[in-house]
Amino acid sequence: MTKALVIDDNQVAADSVKQMLDFLGVEAKVAYGPRAAMFALKDYLPDIVFLDINMPGVDGFEVMSYLQRYPRMENVPFVFVTSDDQPETAKRVRDTGALLIIIKPITLDGLEGSLTKAGLPYTA
């Protein structure tokens, strides 16, 4: 079964993504912010990470950079999630090597597209 880590400081948004991933047959764990993400990785290795960009204190770009320092995370695809649809943000996402960017509100189709692009199985 495909495993996903959803990192977002907005609990409602994170839980919504988790519910959609559950519907798609993906095991999803939620981390409500950067610190919780660090703890989640101690005992959970995701196949894909859905990461909010705009979080207080540490943004998603910094979180991705930090998480990729774990040798076991270096090949895990990251999907950035944001309400910021500016071209500069999209360019910055591409420059990080992330798989793609999804503009909020997140849809089931957007999540399916992410999983397909990552080559990960799901059951919808």
Query: Do 67 and 37 form a contact (C-beta atoms < 8 A)?
Result: yes
pTM listed for this prediction? 0.96
CA angle 32, 93, 81 (to 5 degrees): 35
What is the per-residue pLDDT across 3-43, written as a single tens digit (0 to 9) for each?
A: 999 999 999 999 999 999 999 999 999 999 999 999 999 99
**Distance of alpha carbon 88 from alpha carbon 84, whole angstroms:** 9
Distances (CA, A) of 60 to 19, 45, 51, 53, 92: 21, 18, 6, 4, 11
Fold held by 3-118: Rossmann fold (3.40.50)
Residue 15 in tokens:
């839980």
Residue 10 in tokens:
């907005």
What is the per-residue pLDDT across 64-95, written as a single tens digit (0 to 9) for each?
A: 999 999 899 989 999 999 999 999 999 999 99
